[in-house]
Amino acid sequence: MSDVRTTDDLTRATAADLASAIASGDVSSVEVTQAHLDRMAAVEPAVHAFLHVDGERALAAAAEVDAARSAGQALGPLAGVPVALKDVLTYAGAPTTAGSKVLQGWVPPYDATVTRRMLDAGLVILGKTNLDEFAMGSSTENSAYGPTHNPWDLDRIPGGSGGGSAAALAAFEAPLAIGTDTGGSIRQPASVTGTVGIKPTYGGTSRYGLVALASSLDQPGPCARTVLDAALLHAVIAGHDPLDSTSVDAPVPDVVSAARSGDVRGLKVGIVRELGGEGYAPGVEQRFREAVDVLTDLGAEIVEVSCPSFTYALPAYYLILPSEASSNLAKFDGMRFGLRAGDDGGHDAEEVMGLTREAGFGAEVKRRIILGTYALSSGYYEAYYGQAQKVRTLVTRDFEAAFAQVDVLVSPSTPTTAFRLGEKVDDPLAMYLNDLCTIPSNLAGNASASFPVGLAPEDGLPVGLQVMAPPLADDRLYRVGAALERALEERWGGPLLARAPELVLRPELVEGGPQ
């Protein structure tokens, strides 16, 4: 462990180091929390990772952790460490917007299970992070509150839908963040920001208090700058929850030990043949191949594996997701919560619903609801939704066949590095291709993660490697991620994010001004 006091900035420290320093009294949680709030004040005007900053409650929660430590109480492994929460999970007392105008100003009366577990573990919630509206998108440009900017290049997208959480990490505004992953919304942002993102096995983390997009695909998970930090957060939020009827009643895989071990000797790693080639940026393929070579050097056995049905995963996903979304989003009808438009005494309830949804939903949400309505219409149901469900079976079978041969599968996390803001905003099909590699794991429900493996030579932007593991074998993700992190950081001479450009700070916004 490094002494966090000797680092130039508490915001650069890992969550694991911060927790140790807080537990030993080297630094207080209030100091750590204030350092992150100061950093947010300085860089938020440029990055816009947060939709809501909860500074007062964060400092109060930090003071409580400090008091508990002074009183000699035992602290959890992440007590006092700040975390950023994607604004699609409820936190009582703070607004939950899901990036939509339809929920502007809505303050939920209850905590999501993920939120509750973090609060119980003494984590300090800094605020709510930006996302594509209802988590529909790969760039955060679909947020009704404006896009988030990638800290590596402010003119580029931070990925999506969880671009706010990923950018908060990459901009050193928070050491930990929570994301949700329906088709890649944790892994793709992690990939394009040089951070770590894990989609746990479906059912491994609770969806209670998550504003549902597609219930059979959505899964909350940890985001961090290091593999161990992600594992520590995973251990806090995961595990059976009686409030989510799809929650798996099984022990949480020992992800923390796996992250500390990083031993891949004898591990069988399959490269998915279908996830590469045409459409993949040369720098992405190069860094991916180099990372696979690192695994070989570390004693892993590499084979090529074919998953032919993966080529149908994207079209199947864009039938299943809109179908489920069109049903889930029916609750935003202007009656019990959120926006109501056109209630002028002249319009009846049905007209008010139509006017509310017209005013409250953005273009992508409307596109997907209408697409889902079409796919579920009688006459089209079998050809679209029914057929997509069969593809889902085939994708799952491909995974099963692959995992009979290998322990994990790998691919690039996303075909390209971060593209420019605005480049694909009105070209839905081009936007959808960002999730080409990540979608199969959502359809099958297995565990999956993205880890940084370098910068593409052509543009100097981060590249991610995706690891896919069988259901409930989430620990294997961390084993591979830790192995790569250790070997690559030795080669790079430090973490990848140390190479991110310094953001232009606005010292007049930092409390106390420049030192």
Partner 1 sequence: MALTPNDVADLARLARIELTPGELAHLAPQLDAILEAVARVSEVAAADIPPTSHPLPLANVFRADVVRPSLPREAVLAGAPAAEDDRFRVPRILGEDA
Token pair recorded at residue 240 = 């059976």
| CA–CA distance, 133 with 35 (Å, rounded to integer) | 30
Query: 3-state class of 273 per DSSP?
Result: coil
Q: Which of 343, 405, 420, 457 binds partner 1 (CB under 8 A)?
A: 343
Determine, following the binding rule CB under 8 A, whether residue 469 of this chain makes contact with partner 1.
Answer: no
Using left for φ > 0, alpha for ψ between -120 and 50, and beta otherwise, residue 365 falls in: alpha
Nearer to partner 1, 288 or 399 (CB): 399
Nearer to partner 1, 445 or 462 (CB): 445
Determine, following the binding rule CB under 8 A, whether residue 378 of this chain makes contact with partner 1.
Answer: no
Catalytic (active site) residue 185: yes
- How many CB atoms are closer than 10 A to CB 495? 17
Closest listed residue to residue 281, CA positions, set 192, 183, 400, 387: 192
Least separation in angstroms between CB 374 and partner 1: 6
Q: Which of 12, 57, 260, 340 binds partner 1 (CB under 8 A)?
A: 340
Region from 138-146, 163-171, 378-386, 407-415 binding partner 1, contact rule CB under 8 A = 378-386
Q: Which of 25, 45, 146, 242 binds partner 1 (CB under 8 A)?
A: 242
Determine, following the binding rule CB under 8 A, whether residue 492 of this chain makes contact with partner 1.
Answer: no
Nearer to partner 1, 262 or 471 (CB): 471
| CA–CA distance, 398 with 368 (Å, rounded to integer) | 27
The number of CA neighbours under 13 Å toward the Cβ of 425 is 15
Least separation in angstroms between CB 448 and partner 1: 12
Using left for φ > 0, alpha for ψ between -120 and 50, and beta otherwise, residue 478 falls in: alpha
| CA–CA distance, 372 with 325 (Å, rounded to integer) | 7
Q: Which of 69, 101, 187, 357 binds partner 1 (CB under 8 A)?
A: 357
Region from 134-142, 286-294, 379-387, 413-421 binding partner 1, contact rule CB under 8 A = 379-387
Region from 73-81, 256-264, 281-289, 366-374 binding partner 1, contact rule CB under 8 A = 366-374
| CA–CA distance, 20 with 106 (Å, rounded to integer) | 37
Which helix (H) or strand (E) element contains residue 50? strand 50-53
Instruction: Provide the mask over 80-109, with x wherever binding to partner 1 is found by CB under 8 A and - wherever it is not.
Output: --------------------------xxxx
| CA–CA distance, 246 with 196 (Å, rounded to integer) | 26
Determine, following the binding rule CB under 8 A, whether residue 370 of this chain makes contact with partner 1.
Answer: yes
Among residue numbers 131 through 160, which ones bind partner 1 (CB under 8 A)? none
Among residue numbers 206 through 225, which ones bind partner 1 (CB under 8 A)? 216
Determine, following the binding rule CB under 8 A, whether residue 499 of this chain makes contact with partner 1.
Answer: no
- C-alpha distances out from residue 204 to 28, 129, 481, Å: 32, 22, 19
To which residue do tokens 């998953």 refer? 307
Determine, following the binding rule CB under 8 A, whether residue 400 of this chain makes contact with partner 1.
Answer: no
What are the beta bridge partners of residue 405? none
- C-alpha distances out from residue 207 to 4, 30, 225, 466, 501, Å: 34, 30, 24, 23, 36
DSSP letter, residue 89: B
Determine, following the binding rule CB under 8 A, whether residue 381 of this chain makes contact with partner 1.
Answer: no
23 in Cβ contact with 7 (< 8 Å): no
Nearer to partner 1, 265 or 336 (CB): 336
Catalytic residue selected from 161, 323, 413, 448: 161
Determine, following the binding rule CB under 8 A, whether residue 355 of this chain makes contact with partner 1.
Answer: yes
Instruction: Provide the mask over 175-204, with x wherever binding to partner 1 is found by CB under 8 A and - wherever it is not.
Output: ---------------------------xx-
Q: Which residues contact 245 (CB under 8 A, 6 or more apart)?
A: none
Token pair recorded at residue 442 = 């959502």
Nearer to partner 1, 222 or 440 (CB): 440
Residues designated catalytic: 86, 161, 185
Binding residues vs partner 1 (CB under 8 A)? 106-110, 202-203, 216, 242, 245-246, 248, 309, 312, 315-316, 318-319, 326, 330, 333-340, 343, 345, 347-355, 357-358, 361, 366-367, 369-371, 373-374, 377, 383-384, 386-394, 396, 428-429, 443-446, 471
